[in-house]
């Protein structure tokens, strides 16, 4: 499933140069490791409690917008439901595509926004363009 999720993002961007932000990284870094192998991707990782020095401290409920300047895609893996509206707000402010991979069976907490359910191979996630 995780390979499929990363593959979807890679297919979405193709060969164009993009900036991607993973928000609420936690300690799961399989997808960001996969994306960082591509030369056409600039990747930033943020979390309120960074697990290591490669993660930038940021509070998505009051984000530092300078961190997200020129970001094309935001994604978050299993973000807590209370953070999901803040992800939507940030993606709209910076005009970035948003991909949320919730816990299996979890409903999204994105009031007033209908995110598109996407099933790609064995991965299921939501997209806001």
Task: Kindly report, residue by residue over 66-91, the tens digit of the pLDDT.
Answer: 999 999 999 999 999 999 999 999 99
CATH architecture designation of domain 2-128: 3-Layer(aba) Sandwich (3.40)
- The C-alpha atoms of residue 73 and residue 47 are separated, in whole angstroms, by 16
Task: Kindly report, residue by residue over 13-56, the tens digit of the pLDDT.
Answer: 999 999 999 999 987 788 888 999 999 999 999 999 998 899 99
């Amino acid at each position: 499933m995780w390979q499929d999720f990363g593959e979807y993002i890679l297919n979405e961007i193709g060969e164009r140069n993009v900036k991607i932000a993973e928000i609420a990284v936690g300690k799961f870094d399989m997808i960001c490791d996969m994306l960082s192998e591509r030369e056409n991707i600039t990747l930033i990782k943020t979390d309120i409690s960074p697990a290591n020095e490669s993660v930038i401290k940021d509070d998505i409920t009051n984000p530092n917008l300078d961190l997200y300047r020129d970001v094309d895609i935001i994604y978050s893996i299993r973000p807590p439901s209370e953070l999901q509206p803040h992800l939507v707000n940030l993606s709209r402010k910076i005009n970035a595509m948003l991909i949320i991979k919730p816990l299996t069976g979890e409903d999204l907490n994105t009031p007033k926004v209908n995110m598109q359910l996407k099933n790609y191979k064995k991965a299921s996630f939501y997209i806001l363009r």
